[in-house]
Amino acid sequence: MTQNEIREDVEKYVLHTYNRFPIAIDRGEGLYVYDAEGKKYLDFMAGIAVYALGYHFPGYDEALKAQIDKVLHTSNLYYHEPLARAAKAVVESTDLSKVFFTNSGAEAIEGALKAARKYAWLKDKGGDHEIVAMKASFHGRSVGALSVTGNEHYQEPFRPLMGGVHFAEYNNIDSVLQAVNEKTCAIILETVQGEGGVYPADPAFLAGIRSLCDERDILLILDEVQCGMGRTGKMWAYEHYGIKPDIVTCAKALGCGVPVGAFVLNEKTAAASLEAGDHGTTYGGNPFALAAVSEVFKLYEEHDLIGHVNKIAPFLAGKLDELMASKPDKIRAHRGLGLIRGLELDGSISAGEIAARALEEGLLIISAGNNVLRFVPPLIITEKEVLEAIEILDRVI
């Protein structure tokens, strides 16, 4: 099919919930993708932080093909080796206790919220437990995930949502203290806010929340769907802060292209929350998806991918600082952690328009909100690709 034919059929038959860029991606190779007409693009958004290994990383495809030759799906009524291997890898990497595999990040959030409410219910058998979430957060589009997403624009058409949710200011511990009460069973936040503008948590803020949760037996849920899996220079972003969550959610780069997510619980929470029959999924954690997870962890270790992030991230950060310094009237701020970074543009400039113009120049990049350009490239980028991206952005901005 031609690119125009693909676009016409998608617009004709697919529910219009996305304003897609005007290209049809046909294939990927390394750090680049090619559209249906053969045009080449440098990928600096990695399928929204999914393709940590880029496209066709050696060993990844072969592991999936080998699993296809065995079995794709069994349901969760049976044991299988990919489940054992992937669970061990995820749990040991988080230093927590038990994992539940899902199909997506939103499903991981849903499971985490259920686990928190069940934990509180087992303590007092009450049904009025509440959750504190953050303003400007993003946790997903399902009803539960949307209920803890602090954005009126996303929530308004779908109310009433899940009740008992109060919102506090991110990086403002006093605001959190005001939102917490005797009914609070969990506090949920992104360790690095992504959609809200790429804001890492302040160390004192996260430490304060951890202490508050410990004092009142409130569960701390950290959403690392986007910022986890090595993106910040640690396997999990919370490792930068010297604390651990009670529950962490992950997805995106967990499967590096195969749809898979997970929520991971510490020993205290796992021992006193979800039991047999409380939660389930038909496809979640199937052999194919977990073969991908197992291979991803193996390749991360073999190629010291996190070590590479810690080498290349300062180079990217430095070049973004230089770009900002060269355009003080157009770029207001640069922030981020590791390889999740944001450039805040002047309010008169649309990040979406910049992304569209960058696409014309052969660069895939996305926004975070209205005026922040978000950088979540594959973790395997080198200085060469960084310079290529900066050159395009310099010209476009």
pLDDT digits (tens, 9 = 90+) for 16-41: 999 999 999 999 999 999 999 999 99
pLDDT digits (tens, 9 = 90+) for 172-202: 999 999 999 999 999 999 999 999 999 999 9
What per-residue confidence (pLDDT) applies to 180? Answer: 98
Residue 84, φ and ψ in degrees, nearest 5: -60, -45
Query: Is residue 77's pLDDT more than 90?
Result: yes
Residue 99, CA distances (Å) to 86, 118, 297 in order: 10, 16, 15
279-281-282 Cα angle (round to 5): 145
pLDDT digits (tens, 9 = 90+) for 297-314: 999 999 999 999 999 999
pLDDT digits (tens, 9 = 90+) for 89-107: 999 999 999 999 999 999 9
pLDDT digits (tens, 9 = 90+) for 311-326: 999 999 999 999 999 9
- Length of the chain as a residue count: 397
Structure-derived torsion over alpha carbons of residues 221, 53, 101, 290, reported in degrees to the nearest 10: -160
What per-residue confidence (pLDDT) applies to 132? Answer: 98
Pairwise CA distance, residues 115 & 269, whole Å: 8
Query: Is residue 369's pLDDT more than 90?
Result: no
Query: Is residue 370's pLDDT more than 90?
Result: no
Cis peptide before 160 (omega within 30 of 0): yes
Alpha helices in the chain (DSSP H): 3-13, 46-49, 60-68, 81-94, 105-124, 143-147, 152-155, 173-179, 203-216, 267-271, 287-302, 305-326, 351-360, 383-396
What per-residue confidence (pLDDT) applies to 272? Answer: 98
pLDDT digits (tens, 9 = 90+) for 265-284: 999 999 999 999 999 999 99
What per-residue confidence (pLDDT) applies to 127? Answer: 86
Please state which of the four CATH numbers 3.60.15.10, 3.40.190.170, 3.90.1150.10, 3.30.1330.60 is assigned to the domain occupying 3-45+304-396. Answer: 3.90.1150.10
CATH number of 60-302: 3.40.640.10
Pairing of strands 261-265, 247-250: antiparallel
What per-residue confidence (pLDDT) applies to 232? Answer: 98
Pairwise CA distance, residues 380 & 309, whole Å: 8
Q: What is the mean pLDDT of the chain?
A: 97
In the block, which residue shows the tokens 């499967």?
A: 255
Helix, strand, or coil here: 98?
strand
Pairwise CA distance, residues 125 & 127, whole Å: 7
pTM flag (> 0.95):
yes
Residues carrying CATH 3.40.640.10, the chain: 60-302
Pairing of strands 366-367, 363-364: unpaired
Span 327-347, mean pLDDT? 97
Residues carrying CATH 3.90.1150.10, the chain: 3-45+304-396
Nearest CA to 89 out of 77, 71, 101 is that of 101
Query: In terms of C-beta density within 10 A (0-12 exposed, 13-18 middle, 19 or more buried), how is residue 85 classed?
Result: middle
Pairwise CA distance, residues 38 & 393, whole Å: 22
